A and B are shown apart, each in its own frame.
Chain A
Amino acid sequence: MPDTSVMIRDTAKKLLDEKRVDLIIGFERGTLPLCSSPCFTRRSEEAERLIWNASCENNLAKYLRRREEKVGIVAKGCDIRSIIGLIKEQQIDREQVFIIGVPCNGMIDRRKIEAKLDGKEILEAEEEDETVILKGRDFTEAIKKEEFLHNSCKTCNHRNPVIYDVLIGDKVEENQGFDEYKEVKEFEAQSADRRWQSFTNEVSKCIRCYACRNACPLCYCQECFVDSSQPQWIGKTTNLSDTSIFHIVRAFHTAGRCVDCGACERACPMGIDIRKLTKKIEKDVKELFHYEAGVSLEDIPPLATFNPDDPQEFIK
């Protein structure tokens, strides 16, 4: 089977040459090992830069809004689910996007690898099937990709594109036999005091850089509630009360929309466990309204509709 990167390049070149798209959004080699960065190409000779590996972690759906031209996008499972969300919320037009779907085996988490290396600097990384060979000044180490996946990739059950215009390579086997909400359930089982303690411990790390919001493909409000000054909903400092409300409300805004791509958590410089909140909401939406975000273009988002028989035990 030819290399995925080569197939992506060929597809991109063909699309650009045939003028079926004006722009291709994909990944290119980053400046650091194990770090790919988004790549925007408009000419077919530039398409040589495109690559595909286990560090193509960014959610490229973020770059699709407010574009005039027709865009081809290299997208993995979670990116495509975000694209579906954006189409349903009428932020992008299906006709305007050409989806180059890439089945994904999960992306590796550089921070986990760095933690294992205990301060040693990675100067080079090579991928071979299921392993990555890391090279540094005085060490060479082979690691298994599977052990260093992002948390969101570990619980992913949509590794294959849900919709696409062209599929690169063969579909991969979906994750199976695991409980997606194991962490949420464990958290739920703790006492209320413990839960509040762990929540405040997490959010007290927050420096209010809003990287989570900026990385999220679904956070596209013209004016975010944290930026609004009339009314000024919450203070702008790292006051614990303000930070807690920021995280609660940001998570709440993703209700029925979050596809658990993990972009927020990857973007967080302080390593806050943001998915603890979004995953809980995802679980509730599934249990209460039987809805899963980003799997179909037809169903109505759960908070845009209702059922007269919705559960209401909590209402007196």
Chain B
Amino acid sequence: MALDSLSMTFQALADPTRRAILARLALGETSVSELAEPFEMSLPAVSKHLKVLEGAGLITRSRDAQWRPCKLEPTALKTVDDWLERYRRFWEERFDRLEDYLREIQAKDKADKPKKPSDKKRPRKK
């Protein structure tokens, strides 16, 4: 089954080393050997991670320069960010509707209930 691009991005992001590579690339274009240094990894191992990131559209690699620098592509991450924002909105939306519901039900209860004698004594507020 072919994975949609969002799933590929998620899979790419699910690995801590790949997230660290992206964090490094957020600071600027970098060669593969420079990327490999802090991770104490072999070049082929780093290249494998880069391939996954490239496949997910998270980075691009220049064909021009001989050292083929890696560059971050923020658009793919923005898509993930937007998608996750939906989860926050999931609760925001429900809270909004709950707020409306609670307001309506309380207004209705107030209108339905006959006034209690104690209500008269209470000083009016709000």
A complexed with B = no
